Amino acid sequence: MKSLRHALGMTTVAVLLVGGSIAAPAAPAFADHTRQHTCDEAGGVYTAGDTQNLDRCVVTTSTSVTGPFGAPTTTISEPRPLNSPIYIDTAPVPAGEATTTSETRDVGSPVVVETTRLGEPTVTSAERDTGDPVAVSVVEPGAPVVTERVEEGTPTTTRTRGYRDCEQVSNSKAGKKVERCERTTVTTTTTPTTVVTTVTTPQDEVTTTTQQRETVTTTITPRTEVFTSTQAQETCVTTTQPTEFTRSTTQTTMQTRTVSYQQRTLTTTTTTFYRYANNTTGPLVLVVFAGGGPNPRVSGPRATPAEPYVVTYEEPGPTQFTTETLPGPDVVTTVCSPTDAEVTVTEGETTFDEQEVITPADPTVTVTREALDPIVTESSRPGEPRVTTSTQGTGETCYTNPSTAEQRRNSCS
């Protein structure tokens, strides 16, 4: 099939070249692409057939018309005021019972009289120093205190030989007892002393201070300003009569009339089938269907709802008339008559008159005692020497009353 479609395409190109309609040959794919382009420009849909005779371009167009149908719907808004209302008021007339009030009020400015009131005087008395104090100091010695202390000098030491722990060992021929003893070293330490006598005499500084004094007697008398105000007054009776009046109001109005029309859209669809003349890329010619079918084919119209069409306009509304009773201005009548004056007493600033009387007073005498450094004297005299003796064994043996040559060699004497 492809080889036949290719052969027919080449034959068509050859015929067009002989006739001078196309400047250059085109392959079947290019021919199909060109037919697609021609169909796109016509606003159609290209379909390829088994042969070039059966290639088609189908163009579908729709025509829509929107318009009203049925009876319109009308609505009218509430009336609204137009311009300012017109008021017509009647003259006020009494309404209800009158009320009466009474008050006392001042007449003119008050008359003020100023006086002075003396209070009870206050007397105070106080002492105070006068001049500088006079101080006299005297040194008084106390009872002396005697103390002694012993001071040691440089000690001297002497050592002598001795013995101890003797035990009888035998009797000598002379009848004396022979004793065996331990040799010792006797150390004697002699320390000279000096007795120091210290005499301590305490002493105090006694200061007598005399401060002259005086008595101050102060008398304070309060003085207060007193203001007496006399205010003339009157009593006024006020009668208040309420009133009322009738007000007629005329108000013109406007209202909005709204007319709404239902609408629908009628759509007619036309489908046209084209073929390509002489098996070329164009022009497009109508397809004649076997059996005499219509071309183009028309369907519709098809109805769909559309947005309603709304018209609004202003028109005069009904005139509104109202009548109401309103409170009017009160009618006030006041009648005044004199009454007792008001007397007010107020106190102003209080000042104080002060008087001082000064008289001598007993002086103040103060005695103070301050301890001074004591007077210390020292004297010395020789004291008894201190002698200490210590005995220490040497571990050697000696004999008393020796009877043998060996004992005599180790005699304790």
Q: Calculate the average pLDDT of the chain.
A: 84
Q: Residue 166 above 60 pLDDT?
A: yes
End-to-end CA distance of the chain: 177
Q: What is d(CA 284, CA 272) in angstroms, rounded to the nearest whole number?
A: 11
Residue 13: phi, psi to the nearest 5?
A: -60, -40
Alpha helix ranges (H) inside 145-286: none
Per-residue model confidence (pLDDT) at position 173: 63
Question: Distance (Å, rounded) from C-alpha 357 to C-alpha 345?
Answer: 36
Angle at 390 between CA 389 and CA 392, to 5 degrees: 150
pLDDT of residue 54: 86
pLDDT: which is higher, 220 or 170 = 220
35 burial (CB, 10 Å; 0-12 / 13-18 / 19+) is buried
The full length of the chain comes to: 413
The reported pLDDT for the residue numbered 282 is 67
Confidence of residue 287 (pLDDT cuts 50, 70, 90): confident
* CA-based nearest residue to 161, from 187, 193, 123: 187
263 within 8 A of 309, measured Cβ to Cβ: yes
Q: What is the pLDDT of residue 348?
A: 85
DSSP-derived 3-state class of residue 16:
helix
Cα separation, 43 vs 114, whole angstroms: 120
Give tens-digit pLDDT for 76-123: 989 999 889 999 999 999 988 989 999 888 888 999 999 988 889 999
Any idea where the domains of the chain sit in the sequence?
55-409
d(CA 298, CA 275): 19
Instruction: Report DSSP letters for 362-394, one per residue.
Output: EEEEEEEEEEEEEEEEEEEEEEEEEEEEEEEEE
What whole-number distance in Å separates Cα of residue 178 and Cα of residue 158?
29
How buried is residue 9: exposed, middle or buried, by Cβ count under 10 Å (0-12/13-18/19+)? buried
What would the two tokens of residue 55 be? Answer: 């290639």
Please state the rounded mean pLDDT for residues 275-283: 77
- The residue among 278 and 359 whose pLDDT is bigger is 359
DSSP classification of residue 42: T
Q: Angle at CA 24, nearest 5°, toward 19 and 29?
A: 110
3-state secondary structure of 274: strand
Phi, psi dihedrals of residue 290, rounded to the nearest 5°: -65, 140
- The predicted-structure confidence for 28-78, as pLDDT tens digits, reads as follows 434 456 888 889 888 899 998 888 888 889 999 999 988 888 889 999 989
At 74, the amino acid letter reads: T
Instruction: Please give the structure tokens belonging to residue 147.
Output: 């103390």
**pLDDT confidence band for 235 (50 / 70 / 90):** very high
Alpha carbons 91 and 243: distance in angstroms, whole number: 10
Cβ neighbours, 10 Å, residue 356:
9
pLDDT tens digits for 121-139?
Answer: 999 998 888 889 999 999 8
**Alpha-carbon span 98 to 333, nearest angstrom:** 11
Q: Residues near 313 by Cβ (< 8 Å), separated by ≥ 6?
A: 256, 257
Label residue 13 by pLDDT band (50, 70, 90).
very low
Per-residue pLDDT reduced to its tens digit, 335-394:
999 998 889 999 889 888 888 899 898 899 999 998 888 999 988 889 889 999 988 988
Task: Supply the pLDDT for residue 172.
Answer: 64
CA distance 372 to 202: 7
User: Other C-beta atoms within 10 Å of 44: how many?
Assistant: 21
What separation in angstroms does the CA of 140 have from each of 20, 253, 263, 341, 369?
Answer: 169, 128, 142, 87, 10
Q: Binning pLDDT at 50, 70 and 90, where does residue 155 land?
A: very high
What DSSP string runs through 290-344? TT---SSEEEEEEEEEEEEEEEEEEEE-PPEEEEEEEEEEEEEEEEEEEEEEEEE
